């Protein structure tokens, strides 16, 4: 980025390319390169401008997933960027330190554009909600890990066959990290923070290490947890992010792995969403001597809890097939009008046996309950994307602060991208 007066300016240029994944080459899309895009990074209080140039020969867009910002800067289907055009949204970063991401959102083509490679990480820094003792040297002990599954075919095209039962979209039989097959990372410090992003179209992962070692879950979609949660595995659906800190011994090697995700789906739906599969994701190779790192503090941040007694509205959204509340996305229909600065409770359910998730733009929410019970540790922090188990409604609460625009909607949708493209999406305005 460059700094122009009091603005931080980024330039992104979407174009076609051919990417060498390390043993497989394929025609791809990328921002400022063949595949994926640069990590953008800005600090709370800064005004950012992103000049997004569309060098493709089709319409795309650039959505800032997880970002709290005005609706007309959000980059959803209502802010298309035509071929050859440049769109320059600007906003002020106004949320806790978090690992966010960006990707296109053109209606009907989101799955294709993300799958071909248009995605990147957007790290928000905020001294007020960050913890100095966590690893923080980008690329050294603070590492972005963008996980995607890919199917390669013989014609240097990324496979797009969704199969007879592939209602969730294409499932790849290989996993790439930051665009590389079979990756490893040279660890030089005692502790490493991995910022994991599931940027796959449908596939869930259950991440853990090959030797079963525990690690500290320190952050989820919208920021750090109040306290680290020590665990040996975390499940992530598409669109979610987590931050974990793993401790290494000198000279050792350990593999970050994904094993079958226990989402409560039946055998058939596990199969077609890829939840049955196992993958080696990335090897960590520790140097013979490691620079010491501070211990992960027992207390991280203090998140104010939203109070359901303050909720002005309770809404229900039920997902089934490719519809929400029985309706498919209609760009001219507003499904909810929310009062600016109000708190709302949304009750989210999945009615069929398929893998569905719920993502909402503009806000980070807090999970009040899952299937009537208190949320598990990995759902106790700020979230913008959540798995919906069948007959296990997820009740969330959010404040729709700061930005009102009755003319421009934000989206909510299933983040299984094929479902979203097929209409499992709705629109709300903040007024």
* Positions that interact with ligand C2O (CB under 6 A): 63, 65, 103, 105, 239, 359, 361, 411, 413, 415
Which is closer to Cu ion, CB of 193 or CB of 419? Answer: 419
Which is closer to ligand C2O, CB of 102 or CB of 185? Answer: 102
Which residue has the closest beta carbon to ligand C2O? 65
> Other C-beta atoms within 10 Å of 305: how many?
11
Q: Provide, rounded to whole angstroms, the least separation between the CB of residue 183 and ligand C2O.
A: 23
416 binds, among ligand C2O, Cu ion, none (CB under 5 to 8 A by kind): Cu ion
222: which 2 tokens? 């919208």
**Binding of residue 111 to Cu ion (CB under 5 A):** no
Which is closer to ligand C2O, CB of 103 or CB of 269? Answer: 103
Q: Provide, rounded to whole angstroms, the least separation between the CB of residue 394 and ligand C2O.
A: 17
Rounded CA separation 340/207 (Å): 38
Report the DSSP pairing between strands 410-413 and 425-430. antiparallel
**Binding of residue 416 to Cu ion (CB under 5 A):** yes
If 0-12 CB within 10 Å is exposed, 13-18 middle and 19+ buried, where does residue 33 land?
middle
Which is closer to Cu ion, CB of 78 or CB of 361? Answer: 361
Q: Provide, rounded to whole angstroms, the least separation between the CB of residue 402 and ligand C2O.
A: 19
CA atoms within a 13 Å half-sphere pointing along the CA-CB vector of 55: 16
Q: Provide, rounded to whole angstroms, the least separation between the CB of residue 284 and Cu ion.
A: 30
Report in angstroms the alpha-carbon separations of 230 from 225, 280, 410.
12, 21, 35
Q: Provide, rounded to whole angstroms, the least separation between the CB of residue 115 and ligand C2O.
A: 13
Q: Report the candidate in 173, 392, 416 with the shortest Cα–Cα distance to residue 263.
A: 392
First-to-final CA distance of the chain: 33
Which is closer to ligand C2O, CB of 117 or CB of 233? Answer: 117
Q: Tell me the per-residue interface mask from 50 to 89 with Cu ion, x by CB under 5 A, - otherwise.
A: ---------------x------------------------
* 372 torsion bin: left (phi>0), alpha (psi -120 to 50), beta (else): left
- 411 — phi, psi (to 5°)? -105, 155
411 binds, among ligand C2O, Cu ion, none (CB under 5 to 8 A by kind): ligand C2O
Residues 338-367 binding Cu ion (CB under 5 A) are 356, 361
Report in angstroms the alpha-carbon separations of 20 from 121, 157, 190, 416.
20, 12, 32, 26
257: which 2 tokens? 């792995």
Task: List for the chain the helix, strand, coil content (%; round to 5).
Answer: 5, 45, 45
229 binds, among ligand C2O, Cu ion, none (CB under 5 to 8 A by kind): none
356 binds, among ligand C2O, Cu ion, none (CB under 5 to 8 A by kind): Cu ion
Which is closer to ligand C2O, CB of 239 or CB of 409? Answer: 239
CA atoms within a 13 Å half-sphere pointing along the CA-CB vector of 350: 26
Which is closer to ligand C2O, CB of 30 or CB of 239? Answer: 239
Rounded CA separation 107/409 (Å): 14
Which is closer to ligand C2O, CB of 243 or CB of 362? Answer: 362
Position of tokens 């899309």?
Answer: 29
Residues 272-311 binding Cu ion (CB under 5 A) are none
119: which 2 tokens? 């995605």
Q: Provide, rounded to whole angstroms, the least separation between the CB of residue 428 and ligand C2O.
A: 12
User: Applying CB under 5 A, which residues contact Cu ion?
Assistant: 65, 356, 361, 414, 416, 419
């Amino acid at each position: 980025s460059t700094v122009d007066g009091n603005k931080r300016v980024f330039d992104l240029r979407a174009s076609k390319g051919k990417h060498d994944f390390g043993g497989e080459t394929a025609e791809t899309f990328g921002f400022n390169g063949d595949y994926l895009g640069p990590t953008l990074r800005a600090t709370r209080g800064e005004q950012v401008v992103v000049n997004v140039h569309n060098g493709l020969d089709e319409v795309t867009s650039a959505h800032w997933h997880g970002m709290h910002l005005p609706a007309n800067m959000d980059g959803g289907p209502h802010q298309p960027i035509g071929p050859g055009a440049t769109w320059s949204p600007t906003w002020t970063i106004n949320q806790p330190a978090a690992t966010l991401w960006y990707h296109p959102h053109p209606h009907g083509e989101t799955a294709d554009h993300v799958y071909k490679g248009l995605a990147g990480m957007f790290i928000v820094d905020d001294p007020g909600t960050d913890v100095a003792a966590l690893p923080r040297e980008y690329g050294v002990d603070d590492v972005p890990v963008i996980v995607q599954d890919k199917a390669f075919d013989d014609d240097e095209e990324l496979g797009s066959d969704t199969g007879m039962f592939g209602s969730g979209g294409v499932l790849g039989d290989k996993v790439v990290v930051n665009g590389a097959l079979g990756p490893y990372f040279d660890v030089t410090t005692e502790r490493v923070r991995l910022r994991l992003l599931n940027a796959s179209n449908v596939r869930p992962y259950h991440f853990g290490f090959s030797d079963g070692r525990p690690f500290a879950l320190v952050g989820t979609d919208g920021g750090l947890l109040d306290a680290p949660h020590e665990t040996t595995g975390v499940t992530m659906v598409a669109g979610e992010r987590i931050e974990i800190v793993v401790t290494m011994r000198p000279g050792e090697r350990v593999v970050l792995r994904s094993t079958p995700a226990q989402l409560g789906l039946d055998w058939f739906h596990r199969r077609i969403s890829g939840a049955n599969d196992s993958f080696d994701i990335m090897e960590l190779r520790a140097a013979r001597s490691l620079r010491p790192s501070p211990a992960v503090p027992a207390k991280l941040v203090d998140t104010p809890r939203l109070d359901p007694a303050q909720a002005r509205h309770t809404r229900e959204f039920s997902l089934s097939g490719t519809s929400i509340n029985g309706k498919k996305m209609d760009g001219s229909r507003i499904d909810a009008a929310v009062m600016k600065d109000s708190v709302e409770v949304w009750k989210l359910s999945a009615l069929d046996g398929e893998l569905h998730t719920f993502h909402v733009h503009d806000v980070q929410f807090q999970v009040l309950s899952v299937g009537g019970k208190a949320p598990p540790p990995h759902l106790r922090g700020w979230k913008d994307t959540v798995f919906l188990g069948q007959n296990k409604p997820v009740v969330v609460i959010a404040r729709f602060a700061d930005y009102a625009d009755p003319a421009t909607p934000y989206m909510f949708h299933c983040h299984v991208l094929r479902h979203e493209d097929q209409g499992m999406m709705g629109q709300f305005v903040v007024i």
